[in-house]
Amino acid sequence: MTRTIDLETATELIEASQAKAEEIGVPSVVTVANSDGNLIAQHRMDGAWLASVNISKNKAYTAAALQMPTHELAKPSEPGEPLYGLQTTDDGRIVIFGGGFPLRRDGEIVGTIGSSGGQVDEDMEVARAGIDAFEELSG
Amino acid sequence: MTRTIDLETATELIEASQAKAEEIGVPSVVTVANSDGNLIAQHRMDGAWLASVNISKNKAYTAAALQMPTHELAKPSEPGEPLYGLQTTDDGRIVIFGGGFPLRRDGEIVGTIGSSGGQVDEDMEVARAGIDAFEELSG
Amino acid sequence: MTRTIDLETATELIEASQAKAEEIGVPSVVTVANSDGNLIAQHRMDGAWLASVNISKNKAYTAAALQMPTHELAKPSEPGEPLYGLQTTDDGRIVIFGGGFPLRRDGEIVGTIGSSGGQVDEDMEVARAGIDAFEELSG
Amino acid sequence: MTRTIDLETATELIEASQAKAEEIGVPSVVTVANSDGNLIAQHRMDGAWLASVNISKNKAYTAAALQMPTHELAKPSEPGEPLYGLQTTDDGRIVIFGGGFPLRRDGEIVGTIGSSGGQVDEDMEVARAGIDAFEELSG
């Protein structure tokens, strides 16, 4: 079953991520998707890279499509590792570096969030601010 | 020179369109793009069609790429008319039915809005609510 | 065998087309390709539609890929006609309205030209100015 | 706000790059794009590789989409580095080796240039000849 969060919640998470992005000075694109990886909402902050529009959306897609955070995919996708080549599958939508995360309620994935705009650790921090907001809203 | 509007303005237009969509009972996807057709913000209202995510984005793209409202493209793209076949050009991003409009400031296109989710006249009404909000903000 | 014209000739044809486009007030994108439909040169005039970048290139491609002017493709691609559906084949690169033409030397196609930016008859006029220049250069 | 340079300037930069490419004997494809990565002009020199048509265009795209020279992307995209996998994102348009550069005026990116046709250091040299011409024109 496709699970989803509503648009109101999605925009609240995005705003929480945007607040963090502003705080650390990293103009970002933040996307929230449903558990099928389809977009609910996406915001491109002023000055964020154009490439981040696509990368943010695909981080959210990847977190849904493989049901895990995107930063867990880099290591197994390296040459010599079992999933080498993963990053070119699924019509080029798989992103293997950090910034995409599932959003869970009672252990079930109900959506995902993807952020792009800075260094990978910054993207992860921005996305996690959205996750924190989600957990507060759900708590 | 390509122009853009800021994210804050873009989300205000989308919210104005969403309010109209709720009023007429048509869950919609609304996208605001810059004058080069690249996404600034996109919201999918709860219950809006999945196809509308792509269609809304491409209505906004088309209004930028051809510098005109999308509903003006249907008639000339019919069989027997001069632009028959337009709808399959530009990597499938051209949408030839209504719901995509340029946003102008001092006569210049500074962005676009695209709405999808209902009948074409409903999509146009929803998009126009965003344009009205833009004109109030700019006025 | 792939035939081609050289870059110097290609840019001369494009400049001749641009001069016509300026004369008639239609900012255009003009592409010259080789007989395999691959780009030799492309210019986007200031103010020309973004969509015309792709459409101009694919008019040139189509004129090479089907070895005929693109305006001859509209009629047979209409519903009820033998080639109905042609416009969605070949990875979406086929353009069935006017503005793409082969360039011939001694009866052989040695390249193509494609113009986009205005009404179809204007695009054809702009492209033909390039063909005229080609015939003068070859004559 | 997205910025652009005009076609006349774009072709002058391309000609400067072509002169350098001839001097060092490396037939190249050179593309100039606007700050949203959309093509303004592209020339394929006689004898330049077919693949360079796409690579040159995407180097110009990448320099706009990530607002930096493409040669800065190779190292962080290696296996084990933070952005490993970057090269397969954004619909395959990201190029992570050298030859794509932003063009800046008063610190702002107003366009980009991408060159492809030889070794990476040759591509960079060819593109830089275009940048030098841009700085002379702007100075």
Subunits next to A (3 or more Cβ pairs <8 Å) are B, D
Is beta strand D29-33 parallel, antiparallel or unpaired with respect to D108-116?
antiparallel
Give the whole-angstrom CA distance, residue B9 versus residue B12. Answer: 5
Of the pLDDT bands very low, low, confident and very high (cuts 50, 70, 90), residue C138 is confident
pLDDT per residue, tens digit, chain D (139 aa), is 556 899 999 999 999 999 999 999 999 999 999 999 999 999 999 999 999 999 999 999 999 999 999 999 999 999 999 999 999 999 999 999 999 999 999 999 999 999 999 999 999 999 999 999 999 998 7
Chain A partners within 8 Å of D107 (Cβ): none
User: Given B39, B40, B43, which is nearest A11 (Cβ)?
Assistant: B43
* C-alpha closest to that of C94 among C118, C136, C139, C63: C63
> Mutating which of C13, C46, C116 best tests the D interface, going by the most D Cβ atoms within 10 A?
C46
Give B2 to chain C, closest Cα distance, Å.
10
Q: Quickly count: other Cβ atoms within 10 Å of residue D58's Cβ.
A: 24
Q: Quote the pLDDT of residue B6.
A: 96
The b/e string for A79-91 (b: 16+ C-beta within 10 A; e otherwise) is: eeeebeebbeeee
* C-alpha closest to that of B55 among B16, B23, B96: B96
CB contact set of B104 (below 8 Å; sequence gap of 6+)? B110
Of the pLDDT bands very low, low, confident and very high (cuts 50, 70, 90), residue C3 is confident
DSSP D99: S
Is beta strand A108-116 parallel, antiparallel or unpaired with respect to A100-105?
antiparallel
User: Given D38, D40, D43, which is nearest C7 (Cβ)?
Assistant: D43
Scan for tokens 């004997």, then name that residue: D25
H/E element holding A29? strand A29-33
Q: Which fold has domain C7-138?
A: Beta-Lactamase (3.30.450)
B88 touches chain C (CB under 8 A): yes
Give the whole-angstrom CA distance, residue D49 versus residue C37. Answer: 14
List, for residues C116-132, the tens digit of each pLDDT value.
999 999 999 999 999 99
Q: What is the mean pLDDT of residues C11-28?
A: 98
Contact call for residues A78 and A85 (beta carbons, < 8 A): no
- The more confident residue out of B4 and D82 is D82
* C-alpha closest to that of D80 among A120, A100, A60: A120
For residue C87, pLDDT beyond 80:
yes
Contact D38 C45 (CB under 8 A): no
Residue spans per domain, chain C: 7-138
How many CA within 13 A on the CB side of residue B110? 16
pLDDT per residue, tens digit, chain A (139 aa), is 677 899 999 999 999 999 999 999 999 999 999 999 999 999 999 999 999 999 999 999 999 999 999 999 999 999 999 999 999 999 999 999 999 999 999 999 999 999 999 999 999 999 999 999 999 998 7
Q: Quote the pLDDT of residue C1.
A: 62
Give the whole-angstrom CA distance, residue C46 versus residue D11. Answer: 12
Can you spell out the DSSP letters for C60-126?
A: HHHHHHTTS-GGGSTGGGSTTSTTTTGGG-GGGT---SSSEEEEEETTEEEEEEEEESS-HHHHHHH
pTM for this model (two decimals)? 0.96
Q: Quote the pLDDT of residue B2.
A: 53
Contact call for residues A115 and A127 (beta carbons, < 8 A): yes
